[in-house]
Amino acid sequence: MLIRKMWRDLLKNKTQFISIFLMSMLGMGVFVGIDSESSGGAAAAEAYYKQYNLSDIWIQGAGFTDEDVRTAGKVTGVKNVEKRLALTGTSVDYDNAYMYINFMNSNEINKLMLYEGDPYDEEEQGVWLEEWFARNNRISVGDTFSIKIDSIQIDAVVRGIIDAPDYVYYVSEEDMMYPNYNKCGLAFMSSEMYPDPSNIIYNQLIIDVRDDMSDDDTIDTIKERLEKAFDREDIAVTDRDQNLSYATFDAEVRQHKAMGLIFAVIFLAIALLGIVTTMARVTASQRTIIGTMKALGFSKARITFHYVSYGFVISALGCITGGWVGYMTLPPWILGMFVGSYLIPDLKGSITALDVTATVTAIIISTLVSFLSCRKELKDPPAVTLKPPAPKKVRHSAFEKSRLWLMLDFSTQWNIRDVFRNKLRSLMGIMGVVGCSMLLVCGFGCFDSVNGLVDKLYGELMTAKNKIVLSKDADYDYAYDLCSDYKGQMIQETSVEFVSDKVKKSGSATIVDKGNYIHIQDKDLNPVMLNRSGIAMTSKMAGLLDLKEGDFVKWHVVGDDKWQYTRIVQIYRDPSVQGITMRRQVFEDLEYDFSPTSILTNISVPGDLVDKDEVSSVLNIANMKAAFNETMEIMNSMVYVMVVAAVLLGMVVLYNLGVLSFVEKTREVATLKVLGFKSSKIRNILQKQNIWLTVIGICFGLYSGWGMLYIICTTVSDTLDMFPIITLPTYIYSIGGTFLVSITVNFMFSGKVKTIDMVDALKGVE
Amino acid sequence: MTEKKKSKKKRVLIEFKDVCKKYDQGDNVFYALKDANLTINEGEMVVILGPSGAGKSTLLNLLGGMDSASSGHIWFDGADLTTFSDNQLTAYRAKNVGVVFQFYNLIPTLTAYENVALMKDIKDDTTDPKEALAAVGLAEHMHQFPSQMSGGEQQRTSIARAVAKNPKLLLCDEPTGALDTDTGREVIKLLQEMSREKKRTVVMVTHNSFFADIADTVIRVKNGAIQSIVHNDAPSDASEISW
């Protein structure tokens, strides 16, 4: 019978319980949804890496021979070594697509996953192409595919359509960070296909470590041993964390996990507050019933169990439904958007032990909280509980005794007292508003920050309209002439490796010639001149290396064994490329030859320039900007989730609060009506309190929204230095949106003032 | 305290010995009940009379194990309630006591039938709810919620709930307080039947002195003290009285 009582009581207080249900559902839904999405994504990647044997260590350098393969193979902990020549080029047809090309003479590590055609065989002539690229460009097995590497052209028959575990993510120069696999492909060929196979110079060793590593053998120790074994200054030994493909996906997954956790904590905290206020109210209103049950002979444990079961049932229903719905909807949706960004097969969500633990924990905490909030009514003997409660002790605060208090009008006084006498309820209202405005600020702030990043990249740091990318065939004289023709600026972009006391990091070096298209900004984003002597380092890279302005950094150009030890004379910020920038003079003083890799210009470039052997591609900044924005799909959808969640959160919490306070205030409001207050006047009184709480909530919300955005921006990845930007419109929209939600909900309730029947409301209790 | 007449030889069910209930209110001590001594026999219909605040509800609460005495002893069937723990008191209430409240105290979200059936949750040998409700004349209204019933019907449900447990002691706190005269008489009649026909001990608290006539024993209380205990050899029928 008590179970029936519970269901009917739940039904009677449905607004409150539905809001608790919704909050716990949303909280668990988002958490389980995003966690199962990210865990599932990670698991799919892990399975893929395992099955196709992703390399554990990479060694970049020049001129690796079979002797080097043997040297590496002898190192303790190494299981297998292969050598590769990794190059970039373009396709002859298909809009001069950017191609990553690998020549290899075996394929035990980073094995190709076959979709169609023949499995990779180093004895076979032909080329194996990436699946997405091939499919979208309608390339089939048997077609002839031509690749241009600098001035060399290779024509090969397509033997297979594949994917590769070391290329789940890659971008062409044009795409910056968001991949476009239609215009950027992968090609794998046997070393025999290289134009001069006997003189092939491998530039990469890929290493598979033993599966049964002892405790002493970590990836780091094996890396150290490899460095010692080679004892060459011109190589870079890196692991998976420094591998663009691996690290990008890993960072994406981790970022999702963090966001899911933030969401869940907010929603569950609010669900808990809801349980506290609702259970306290339900048990308070059932005081006599509790007394009766005691008098009838129900034990305290029995009654406690009965009331605790309310919180348990609702939170259990909410959490389990939420978890299930979250699992069913979010992984397919978000992982669906990964298609096109990450080339990983079988992406699907998976429930982890953490999801189950989190759900159970949330239910236990909710149950515990409902136990704590109904305990009060249960401690007295039935003779006491049967009687109505003693009136709340009303104490005057110091403020109420001050002279200022007397100057306030009645409605202000009434509201101040009401807020302080119902602290928990007020707190819950503020929390709801905080959550709502925080998510709005953070959501819109994400848009702002991405826009800010694009504007900064292509509007402030690089101001040219076109970028002519030169091929290896272009010598200095050619570049110089072209540059003069287009009144441009020559720059050289090259990969470098930095070493500090403990860490080794790969980055990029930009060497700029005379001109006015490259700008840098200091830590506080103020434009500064690039120093005439010494090198400037990005603050993100400096942070990773634990270096500051004035320190010396050890670095070398990848492929060159000459190490430099140079003072950092400037720290600057760059959102997308981490490394160093220096003037041509500085570079040449270090005894390097300046060999430009691209020319920046504001003069429009004819389309046929790209046909020249010396020109690899021409990038139009406006197109790059547009392409960048288009590929922000995942980010955008996260923002939508946040905005929808914000509005839902605000609505549910404030509606619940409205019901709570309205029920509690009914008698007071009826009294005011009897005394002759007009309904509209009473509405204003009620609205006033709501506005106060909303204003307080928004103040905290804007601040915590900025904090949340900051966390999201700074944890994006190693290479991306995003600045949290919140523009004025974002503040306006967020404040306006929060107010709209708050006032709309309150209006729904204050409208009920009219409907209160004075006589009925003032009648005795039962 | 005077005892006018000796009652017939009956088994003693309840005995109060120097029972006090006091409340500390800062500096002064307030006695809700002071040095109460009384005995109640099995099967008796007892009426406790007194004005509001006299201590009759305190007496009833102590009888029902709903409150604990500050000093003295209360024996029920030979066991001293004042030595009972909270759990023992709960078990005592569940097993031996049925309570009828002034405002019925039915659970509003349960129907009449369910309110009575609730007793199955706390005691094994309960009367079938249907029978209990039929006995109070509510067979027709079994599936109504309290809010759909009249005051008299609710009070009868409350009585059905109290007696369904087959308690040794039926306690009634102003059972007619919220009812009109005719309905009230019906309820009193029902309670008298419980005592006369079912041989239950019924203790009723009221401020209405007309009810003195129907009782076997009348206990008058004033200012926290028992004023008199009067045994009535020939109680009137409930249907005969009016107020």
Contact indicator for A499, A554 with CB cutoff of 8 Å: yes
- Name every chain B residue with its beta carbon within 8 A of the beta carbon of A299: 87, 90-91, 94
Write out the two tokens for A438: 């925080």
Contact status of B142 with chain A (Cβ, < 8 Å): no
Q: Do A298 and B109 touch (CB under 8 A)?
A: no
Q: How many residues does chain A have?
A: 766
Question: CA of A288, closest CA in chain B: separation in Å?
Answer: 7
What domains sit in chain B, N to C, each tagged with a CATH number? Answer: 12-236 (3.40.50.300)
Is pLDDT of A763 > 70? no
Contact indicator for B219, B45 with CB cutoff of 8 Å: no
Contact indicator for A75, A224 with CB cutoff of 8 Å: no
Q: Which of A422, A409, A344 is nearest to A132 (CA)?
A: A344
Mean pLDDT of A339-360: 87
- Name every chain B residue with its beta carbon within 8 A of the beta carbon of A302: 121-122
Question: CA of A387, closest CA in chain B: separation in Å?
Answer: 11
Q: Would you tell me how many other CB atoms lie within 10 Å of the CB of residue A570?
A: 18
A131-153 residue pLDDT tens = 999 999 999 999 999 998 877 88
- Taking all residues of chain A, what is their mean pLDDT, rounded to a whole number? 84
* Alpha helices, H only, A456-510: 476-485
Residues 47-106 on B with a CB inside 8 Å of A are: 57-58, 61, 64, 66-68, 86-87, 90-95, 97, 99, 101, 103, 105
Write out the two tokens for A657: 């609060």
Please state, in angstroms and as integers, the Cα–Cα distance from residue B28 to each residue in A194, A393, A503, B13, B23, following that order.
107, 21, 78, 35, 9
A570-603 residue pLDDT tens = 999 888 788 899 999 999 998 888 989 899 998 8
Q: How far is CA A461 from the centre of its chain?
A: 24
- Name every chain B residue with its beta carbon within 8 A of the beta carbon of A766: 103
- Name every chain B residue with its beta carbon within 8 A of the beta carbon of A381: 66-68
Residue among A1, A293, A298 minimizing CB distance to B114? A1
Contact status of A382 with chain B (Cβ, < 8 Å): yes
Contact indicator for B101, B162 with CB cutoff of 8 Å: no
DSSP state of A462: B
Is pLDDT of A180 > 60? yes
Query: What is the layout of strands, in order, in the sheet containing B71-76?
Result: B28-41, B12-25, B71-76, B79-80
Q: Would you tell me how many other CB atoms lie within 10 Å of the CB of residue A305?
A: 14
* Cα–Cα dist A287/A283, whole Å: 6
Question: CA of A716, closest CA in chain B: separation in Å?
Answer: 54
Q: What residue of B is the nearest CA neighbor of A386?
A: B105
Give the pLDDT of residue A416.
Answer: 84
Question: CA of B180, closest CA in chain A: separation in Å?
Answer: 17
Residue among B64, B87, B118 minimizing CB distance to A295? B64
Contact status of A299 with chain B (Cβ, < 8 Å): yes
Rg value, chain B, Cα: 18
Using DSSP's 3-state secondary structure scheme, residue A756 falls into: coil
Give the pLDDT of residue A377.
Answer: 77
Among the residue ranges A573-582, A679-688, B86-95, B150-159, the one predicted with the least confidence is: A679-688
Is pLDDT of A54 > 90? yes
Contact indicator for A358, A28 with CB cutoff of 8 Å: yes
Question: CA of B198, closest CA in chain A: separation in Å?
Answer: 20
Q: What residue of A is the nearest CA neighbor of B68?
A: A381
Residue among A9, A299, A382 minimizing CB distance to B87? A299
Is pLDDT of A176 > 60? no
Phi, then psi, of A363 in degrees rounded to 5: -65, -45
Residue among A4, A292, A302 minimizing CB distance to B105? A292
- Name every chain B residue with its beta carbon within 8 A of the beta carbon of A288: 105
Contact status of B163 with chain A (Cβ, < 8 Å): no
Is pLDDT of A682 > 60? yes
Name every residue whose Cβ is closer than 8 Å to that of residue A701 and which is 6 or more positions away in sequence: A433, A434, A435, A436, A437, A438, A440, A441, A734, A738
Give the pLDDT of residue A701.
Answer: 92
ipTM of model: 0.84
Contact status of B119 with chain A (Cβ, < 8 Å): yes
**Residue A491 binned pLDDT confidence (cut-offs 50, 70, 90):** very high
- Name every chain A residue with its beta carbon within 8 A of the beta carbon of B108: 289
Contact status of B123 with chain A (Cβ, < 8 Å): yes
Identify which has the larger pLDDT, A156 or A613: A156
- Name every chain A residue with its beta carbon within 8 A of the beta carbon of B110: 1, 4-5, 8
A381-433 residue pLDDT tens = 888 888 777 766 666 777 777 777 777 788 888 888 888 877 878 888 888 88
Give the pLDDT of residue B1.
Answer: 42
Name which of A13, A296, A378 to mutate to probe chain B: the one with the most chain B Cβ atoms within 10 A of its Cβ.
Answer: A296
Q: Do A383 and B61 touch (CB under 8 A)?
A: yes
Name every residue whose Cβ is closer than 8 Å to that of residue A596 and which is 6 or more positions away in sequence: A470, A474, A476, A479, A483, A490, A491, A492, A513
Question: CA of A333, closest CA in chain B: separation in Å?
Answer: 43
Is pLDDT of A22 > 70? yes
Residue among B67, B119, B161 minimizing CB distance to A383? B67
Name every residue whose Cβ is closer than 8 Å to that of residue A590 and which is 6 or more positions away in sequence: A564, A566
Q: Is A215 exposed, middle or buried (0-12, 13-18, 19+ CB in 10 A)?
A: exposed
Contact status of A1 with chain B (Cβ, < 8 Å): yes
Contact indicator for A468, A517 with CB cutoff of 8 Å: no
**Residue A766 binned pLDDT confidence (cut-offs 50, 70, 90):** very low
* Cα–Cα dist A630/A633, whole Å: 7
- Taking all residues of chain B, what is their mean pLDDT, rounded to a whole number? 86
Residues 272-291 on A with a CB inside 8 Å of B are: 288-289, 291
Is pLDDT of A103 > 90? yes
Name which of B62, B105, B123 to mutate to probe chain A: the one with the most chain A Cβ atoms within 10 A of its Cβ.
Answer: B105
* Cα–Cα dist B232/B216, whole Å: 5
Identify which has the larger pLDDT, A390 or A544: A544
DSSP state of B231: E
Q: Do B99 and A295 touch (CB under 8 A)?
A: yes
Question: CA of A45, closest CA in chain B: separation in Å?
Answer: 54
**Residue A127 binned pLDDT confidence (cut-offs 50, 70, 90):** very high
Contact status of A305 with chain B (Cβ, < 8 Å): no
**Residue B6 binned pLDDT confidence (cut-offs 50, 70, 90):** very low
- Name every chain A residue with its beta carbon within 8 A of the beta carbon of B122: 296-298, 302
Q: What residue of A is the nearest CA neighbor of B163?
A: A296
Is pLDDT of A550 > 50? yes
Contact indicator for A488, A619 with CB cutoff of 8 Å: no
Is pLDDT of A501 > 90? no
Q: How many residues does chain B have?
A: 243
Give the pLDDT of residue B80.
Answer: 93
Residue among A5, A295, A299 minimizing CB distance to B107? A5
**Residue B3 binned pLDDT confidence (cut-offs 50, 70, 90):** very low
A·B CB contacts under 8 A: 83
Question: CA of B234, closest CA in chain A: separation in Å?
Answer: 32
